[in-house]
Structure 1
Amino acid sequence: MRRSHGAPKIFGSTGRSGHGFALADPLTEAEVTEAESQFGVEFPAEYREFLLNVSAGGAGPHYGLAILSRGGDSRWDWDCTAADPVKPDRLGQPFGGEPAVAAAISALDAHDAVEPNRTDFPAGGYEAARARWIQDDDALFDELVPLPGVVAVAHHGCGYLDWLAMTGPERGSIWTDGHGNGLYLQRTRSADGRPLGFFTWYMAWLEASEAALQRSGQE
């Protein structure tokens, strides 16, 4: 695929952030186990199999599958540059799916509803009240995002991400953040509406890319 003259037409394959159709080496069983131990979670079966038998990341949907690697500090992390660093204490907690997403959004909406209004401070004090509100808003967002039990595995650009559920009843499923803030997650679905797991999500990208390259070869 990399050598095809149509490769530059595949979204996310070129440029500084592009994956270039390159795959990192697979991980060993010992490495995967070490990463799981660090994060306090057993990776979903399809993703774990991919890490062991295909690659630690690279060529994949959008700008590529986030590469799981050990950094200079000997800590494991994913290189999804558009996402905040993984919070190890949060990744092993259960992901509650749509109800958890709705509850987090509701909490932020409730805080938005009490944003200070200048007209409520005729005697002054608005700036101090708004500064406190912003500080509380930042703290609340940091408490809620990323949601427990999910990790960003691909970015579309402009902060939009695909997430893999690591825990809970939705374990192994792919979710898309349509707002670019890591909160408004929705199940990623196929063209015919089927929810996608890791394998079907990755294969959908691979099959679509191969079809696009074949079409470009006929032009």
Structure 2
Amino acid sequence: MWDVEGVRARLRELAEADPRYRRFGANRHRYRLDPPVPEPEIARFEAAHGFELPSSYRAFITTVGGGGAGPNYGLYRWGSTTWARLQTDLGPDWADHFAVPFPHTERFQPWPELEICARHTPDDESFDPCWFTGSMVLSELGCGGFLRLVVTGEARGQVWSDDLAYDKGLNPGPQFRDWYLDWLAREVSTPGG
């Protein structure tokens, strides 16, 4: 599914073309990938929480890299403290929410309030965990925005932008593989050049 050597070669090209890390987010990920995650670790997590990762993402983190270089500020390392902390938007039982289908198939803007779960209260301006079920945080957009991978539901495998902090809603995007390869294919552009 992934051309591992091709991805790594392209990352080397991007690093050579951007030695000062001026491409957005490059100063954080520096075009480096974390080591792949062992397959048994992923299988245990899936079994414990009643869902399966989308195949392109699962193959990526088990063969290419468990995090690191990627769109925006890069991919969070699977299972890291930072990754786990960001999943807690779903509440104290966050890991059990992965098996609950993601409730959206098109753009979602909660204001004015839209009721999508039984506990949702009208005029509640805080984010409700029911908006994010079936998804996990992949990457940071910056300024309170994130990218989420849908792991359960009709939009499974898609990367959605979560820009609720800036009142821009949850917005659908491409499948994980297309999203990552599109980022790799883009030329490096630097300020003023």
Q: Which residues of 2 match residues 12-31 of structure 1 at below 5 A?
A: 12-14=25-27, 18-31=28-41
Report if the CA contact (8 A) 2:68-2:76 is conserved.
yes
Counterpart of 1:117 in structure 2 is none
Query: 2:104 aligns to what?
Result: 97
Identity of aligned residues (%): 28
Deviation at 1:40, TM superposition (A): 2.2
Contact 2:115-2:122 at 8 Å conserved across structures? yes
> 1:6 matched to which residue of 2?
18
Normalised to the residue count of structure 1, the TM-score between the two structures is 0.66
Whether the 8 Å contact between 1:41 and 1:92 is mirrored in structure 2 is yes
* Structure-to-structure mapping, 1:85-124, within 5 angstroms: 87-98=94-105, 101=108, 105-107=113-115, 111-112=122-123
Match of 1:150 in 2: 135
Please tell me whether residue 35 in structure 1 is matched to residue 40 in structure 2. Answer: no
Q: Once the 2 structures are TM-superposed, how far is the Cα of residue 187 of structure 1 from its aligned partner?
A: 0.8
Q: Which has the larger radius of gyration?
A: 1
Name structure 2 gaps, 5 residues minimum. 1-11
Structure 2: distance between partners of 1:19 and 1:55: 12
Q: Shift in Å at residue 202 of structure 1?
A: 0.4
TM-score normalised by length of structure 2: 0.74
Partner of 2:54: 44
SS state at 1:97 partner: coil
The one-letter code matched in structure 1 to 2:179 is W
TM-aligned CA distance change 1:51 to 1:90, over 3 Å: same
| Corresponding pairs, count | 171
Give the Cα–Cα distance (whole angstroms) in 2 for the partners of residues 50 and 182 of structure 1: 31
What is the CA RMSD across the aligned residues, in angstroms?
Answer: 3.2
- Relative to structure 1, the CA distance from residue 141 to residue 10 in structure 2 (aligned partners, 3 Å threshold; closer, same or farther) is closer
Q: Note if contact 1:164-1:173 (Cα within 8 Å) is conserved in structure 2.
A: yes
Query: Is the CA contact (8 Å cut-off) linking 1:23 and 1:55 kept in structure 2?
Result: yes
Task: Give runs of aligned pairs for residues 124-163 of structure 1, distance below 5 A.
Answer: 137=124, 141-145=127-131, 147-163=132-148
User: Is 2:183 the counterpart of 1:198?
Assistant: no
Correspondences of 1:58-77 after superposition (within 5 Å): 58-69=68-79
Letter in 2 for 1:207: A
Distance between the aligned counterparts of 2:148 and 2:39, measured in 1? 23
